[in-house]
Chain A
Amino acid sequence: MNSLYIARESMIHRLDPRTKILFVLFIVISSFLFKDPAMQLILLIGMFPLVLLSKLVKQYLMSMQFLMLFVVLIMTIHGIYNPIGETPVFEIFGGLTFKYESLVYASVMSFRILVIGTAAVIFVMTTHPSDLAIALMKWKVPHSIAFMFLSTFQIIPIIAREAKIVMEAQQARCLDVKANIFERVKHLVPLFAPLFIITFVKVHQLSYVLECRAFSRNGVKTSLRETKISSLDYMFISGMLVLLLTELYLSFAQQISLTTSNLLVSSLFAVWAVFFIVIVKFVYKKVSVFIGG
């Protein structure tokens, strides 16, 4: 199984995985530094050039769809019902009002989810899992942990295939998948028992193979893929450092606040609009299956 990695020829793909890990950490730290939704929004927009550079705009938008559910729920529910809100800014039907303070709270939280989500998507989509494991080993992470991490991606499809075989075999032996709910709960045991035994057999095989290849011997381990830190990485890291110092200055020395109620209401509308588009697309897909199929 692949992770979300998508192979492209781009500047971001050529960066060392360690640089990208530092980048994700930098984004997480800076999104928790700011308590101001406007600054979070600037951070979010500031990352779009990186998405463009990595040539993954479509895939990025696809994977952000799932985070929109969070954002819509948080903005709407917290904006109306959070008890910290006092100043009403915007009223919808039935006397439900969005309050300024609670909208600030909700939008900080939801923009933080989007900001970290963007950074994580850039990192995952541009980093091959093997490169990540090698980078971890260069950071003195034990070799066995890097191996566990990598072999998970290999073993999930194997176990999934075995699970499918077990399910079909038990159904062929009259396991009723449409019985009442207590019967179905009892059916979990005949489905999981063979799967556990198969898993143990596979694990034993894998551990013999590992021992045959001197896995637990000490010594230098080499690998097929190589990662190198280039001048591009140094440029990237120094840029991040400069930005981090600026952010620290802005958030501690100078109390700036760019947030206005107009910004909050328009971001609320934007979130609703995007969510509406996502829903329409989803429904259209479901309906077109019925019509086309």
Chain B
Amino acid sequence: MRKNSSFIVAMIPAGIALNWVANSIVEMLKLPIFLNNIGTVLNAVVLGPIYGIVTALMTNTILGLVVRWTYVPFALVGAAVAFMAYFFFKKGWYKKTWKVLAAGAIAGAIGAVISTIISVYVFGGFSGHANDIFTAGLVAAGQQIFSATFIANLPTTIVDKVLTFWIVSMILKIFPVRFLPNAKDIREKLGLSSGNGAAL
């Protein structure tokens, strides 16, 4: 890893920037999702799980410093997503589209559980997004706080993570992977032939 240390040092801020910038692209297409883990997932696949988790933790630290501090506890969600992105990549789930979607759904479900636990114990069930209105409505309709937060969070989180995983896998397939530090690994796990990507 010594050889690539400056690549890693430059790649982690770029991952954080991608997490940040994804928001503006989604806004332009007017889609009701965030995609705020896309750089984390990319870094977890390209650099490995530890750097993916570092990206997730630093993203939320920077968000906490620049926007508001309530983002900081949710760093754990990003860390879990980064770990799972690497895990499913290692298992070779990125070869087939339906497996990528399944991996995203699993990651989204686990992420929703973690974010529900955090928001219930730290913020009383609210997380600072527009979803809070649903949570409040569900609580008023007679749900428990925990289940209301979970129900309000689950669909958006799953759709979000499924799309994140799908975009990263699609892009790595058309990407000139020979520029990446673990090109051999990525070719193998994505099921690409060795010539693929070089033509781009």
Contacts and interface: CB of A to CB of B under 8 A. Distances in A.
Given A192-B167, A206-B10, A78 B21 contact: no
A167 B70 contact: no
B128 interface: yes
Interface residues of A, number: 66
Contacts of A167: 25, 28
Chain B facing A: main interface SS:
helix
A66 B171 contact: no
Contact of B21 (A106, A152, A156, A189): A156
A159 interface: yes
Contact of A192 (B12, B13, B171, B176): B171
B6 interface: yes
Contact of A189 (B128, B136, B170): B170
B66 A3 contact: yes
B85 interface: no
Contact of B64 (A120, A156, A158): A120
Contact of A187 (B7, B29, B64): B29
Interface in B1-17: 2, 5-7, 9-14, 16-17
Contacts of B66: 1, 3-4, 124
B10 A109 contact: no
B7 to A, nearest CB: 5
Residue among A67, A117, A207 with the highest chain B CB neighbour number at 10 A? A207
A177 B20 CA distance: 20
A160 interface: yes
A200 B128 CA distance: 32
Interface in A140-160: 144, 147-149, 151-156, 158-160
Given A73-B126, A192-B38, A193-B174, A216 B5 contact: yes
Given A74-B123, A155-B13, A207-B9, 14 more contacts: A4-B66, A67-B68, A81-B140, A117-B68, A152-B17, A160-B17, A181-B31, A188-B31, A189-B170, A193-B175, A195-B25, A196-B175, A202-B14, A204-B7
Ranked nearest first, the 8 interchain pairs of A and B with the lowest CB-CB distance are A159-B17, A206-B10, A120-B69, A152-B13, A207-B6, A210-B6, A74-B124, A207-B10
Interface of B: 2, 5-7, 9-14, 16-18, 20-22, 24-26, 28-31, 35, 38, 42, 58, 61-62, 64-66, 68-70, 123-126, 128, 132, 136, 139-140, 144-145, 163, 167, 170-171, 174-176, 179-180
